Structure 1
Amino acid sequence: MSSINTNTSAMVALQTLKGINSNLAKTQSEISTGKTVASAKDNSAVWAISKVMESDVSGFESVSTSLATGQSMVSVARTAVESITDDLKTIKEKIVAAQDPSADTGKLDDEISELVSMIESKISGAQFNGVNLISSSGNETILGSLDRSGNTVSTNTINIARQDMSTTATTVATGAVAAGANATNFVAAGTNKGASAIAAGAAEGFALSGMAAGETVTLAIGDRSFSYTVSQADVDSGSDVNEVATANLFSQVMGAGMSGITATYDPAANAADLTINVDAANTLGVNMSVAINAAGSGPLAGLNGFTSSNTVAEIESMINGAIDAAAAFGAVESRIESQATFVSDLGDALKTGIGALVDADMEEASARLQALQTQQQLGIQSLSIANQQPQSILSLFK
């Protein structure tokens, strides 16, 4: 049955053409944007996942910047400490050279003073963007990564321990050690008793007081120096740390075998009291000083004021401290470098994942475009034929 009111063939052809045009528009959008999911209406679930991943990628780019800054900051500090270590080795050479009786100690002292000034200049100048990791103690924190658990994101940080390379010992007060005031002349933690000459045939003493873990007592007698650092193990043992330090200093002095110098130590009378005796034959007397550096003072504390009369043991301890500081910076720099590589790889992996979710397969889209364009032409022709069908009815009335 033919009808001039209802053209079923045209209706079918029109709907088919509309479907073809819709698919063609979608394919052209994929080709122009390069994405199968360009907006939430294309696929809301996939679009939401991709946007979360894109925000993480942006976050990791910021993390990479933070890591690059941190690595540069640590690299500056490590380079400075390595250079300082070389300078300390040179100072050691000067101190060793001063052991020669014919050495010009005055010139050696001048050279050491210049080296110390150069070290101090390096310490103050070893900064990156205003941050100096070797001028004081404490910690710096940099962003290391982002951790996601569901909808919750937290930061993962890397701690960088500062290495205090200050050259001045931490002291609070100064004063002379009075001869004969052994039991009452207390040396409290954080104080320094200045050098005092002991007359020939006389004695001079001190009693330690208030020492704690990490604090170092240094006893200087003439050109010799003896020191002891209270450890946490000393504190945990239940012993009186003042007595432990005194006994250790006494043992060092007696073992040194210094001509005309002896030490008197009577733990039964006062276990924290040490007296230094000068033989009457020593008509020149000898200078003695006692200092306690506060806990946490850096490995170079006391370098300021160093002369050729300082001991090889003292400068060797500083060299070892500088080596340890450089090694600590090297370790954290290596960790930051490794973390930066991981973050970069993770960002690339996320980008690949996002592409797999939303990017269009251009080969497939190209083939589909060709097919849809052919279908569109056929659809237009079919609709044209269907629209002409009512015209044939006119021939029936001729």
Structure 2
Amino acid sequence: MSSILTNNGAMVALQTLKATNSALTNVQAEISTGKSVANSKDNAAVWAISKVMESDVQGFTAIQDTLSLGESTVSVARQAAESITERLNAIKDNIVNAQTANVDRAKLQTAIDADIEQIRNIVSTAQFSGMNLIDGSTTTSSFLASLDRRADGTVGVSTIDVAGQNLSTGDYVATAVFGAATDGVTANSDAAAFNLDSGGGTGTIEIDAAATYAAGDKISLNIGGKTATYTVSEADVAATTPADLIAVGLKNAVDALGIADLSVDYDSGTPGTLAFTNDGGNDLTVSAQFKNAGAGGLSLLNTIDVTSDAGALAALNNIDSIVQTAIDASSAFGAVESRISTQADFVGKLNDSLKSGIGAMVDADMEEASARLQALQVQQQLGIQALSIANQSPQSLLSLFQ
């Protein structure tokens, strides 16, 4: 039956043309965006999965930056520890040389002191982005290593922990050891300064008997531009009256300066007290400073004194353990630096795999899209012709009424 009200052929042709145009629009969108799933409307499940994976990619990219920071930080610490090991080996060589009695031990001690000072400089400057792993200020530092997405959708993190190593020599903290008898200062001061007038000027320094001392503590006196230093020994610490022994040792150090017309007497009536008398023609300025050896990992360096047979032997007994401390620190930093480097390489490869997986899910196959585009363009042309033919069929009914 033919009808001028209902054109079934035109409706079929129209629906077909609409479907072709819709498919053509979709393939054109794929070609223009490069994605087969550009938004949640295209495929909600695949789009959601891809977005979660894209979030992980951003997270792993940030982790790569964190690992790079961690690797650089540990690398600085490792190189510093290795440099310290080299300086300690140089110190050991000088200590071994000092075991012979007919060598200039004073010059060997000067070289040792220079190496110790260099070690202190290395420790203080071995920081990266404000973090120092070898001066004892950092116990443990953690660097983010991975994001762990679990089956239930929750996310955990993995870290690489770096243990700090204390390679400091103690950094000497001033402590109150000078008592009330010290001229020019108040009671319990950690420093003293006064003048010895010419022609009989006097002054006193009292080593505080109530203070706590440790091996490696140093008391320095500067008199008229010359410095005398005494280092507290383990024997001093173990003594009943360490202040007396320290005062006597300090007196001997001052006498060794050879300052003309200056006399230093130990006052046996007042424990730990030294009395100075300046019979020379020039005024003398006296300053005193106490420094505590602290608890650095290399604090035994402060006890090294090869100017005597006993000191050289004690230094030889201690140096191997000091060197081993630096070697252990270098080894620990080397191991963790290698681990961080390995993890950084893995995270980089994992990131590439995630990006490849996301592309497989949402990227358009451009070869397929090109073939589909050409086919749909042909179908569109055919659809337009079919619709045109269908729209012309009612006109044939006019011939029936002529």
Task: Map Cα deviations across residues 296-340 of structure 1 (whole Å, 9 max, x no partner).
Answer: x44312213533344223111111110000000001111111111
One of 378, 386, 389 as aligned partner of 1:385? 389
Aligned partner letter, 1:322: A
Task: Map Cα deviations across residues 104-159 of structure 1 (whole Å, 9 max, x no partner).
Answer: 11111111111111111111110000100001151111111111122211221111
Q: Output the TM-score relative to the length of structure 2.
A: 0.68
Whole-angstrom distance in 2 between the partners of 1:357 and 1:7 = 43
Q: Is the 8 A contact 1:172 1:190 kept in 2?
A: no
Q: Does 1:3 align with 2:3?
A: yes
Tell me what 2:380 maps to. 376
Unaligned runs of 5+ in 1: 176-187, 199-203, 208-221, 223-291
Whole-angstrom distance in 1 between the partners of 2:379 and 2:54 = 37
Tell me what 1:64 maps to. 64
Whole-angstrom distance in 1 between the partners of 2:132 and 2:327 = 18
Shift of 1:41: 0.8
One of 301, 306, 324 as aligned partner of 2:328? 324
Q: Is the 8 A contact 1:171 1:190 kept in 2?
A: no
Shift of 1:397: 3.0
Identity of aligned residues (%): 54
Tell me what 1:18 maps to. 18
Q: Does 1:360 align with 2:364?
A: yes
Whole-angstrom distance in 2 between the partners of 1:169 and 1:206 = 27
Tell me what 2:198 maps to. none
Greater Cα offset, 338-347 or 53-62: 338-347
Q: Does 1:336 align with 2:359?
A: no
RMSD: 2.9
Whole-angstrom distance in 2 between the partners of 1:333 and 1:169 = 27
> Secondary structure of the equivalent of 2:155?
strand
> Secondary structure of the equivalent of 1:302?
helix
Q: How does 1:1-398 map to 2 (within 5 A)?
A: 1-136=1-136, 137-149=138-150, 150-168=152-170, 191-192=214-215, 194-195=232-233, 297-304=295-302, 306-308=304-306, 309-310=311-312, 311-398=315-402
Task: Map Cα deviations across residues 336-380 of structure 1 (whole Å, 9 max, x no partner).
Answer: 111111211221221122112111111111111111111001001
> Secondary structure of the equivalent of 2:299?
coil
Aligned partner letter, 1:139: T
Whole-angstrom distance in 1 between the partners of 2:83 and 2:165 = 15
CA shift in 2, pair 1:197/1:159, >3 Å: closer
Aligned partner letter, 1:113: D
Q: Output the TM-score relative to the length of structure 1.
A: 0.69
Whole-angstrom distance in 1 between the partners of 2:79 and 2:68 = 16
Whole-angstrom distance in 1 between the partners of 2:234 and 2:19 = 104
Shift of 1:14: 0.5
CA shift in 2, pair 1:41/1:320, >3 Å: same
Task: Map Cα deviations across residues 262-302 of structure 1 (whole Å, 9 max, x no partner).
Answer: xxxxxxxxxxxxxxxxxxxxxxxxxxxxxx999xx443122
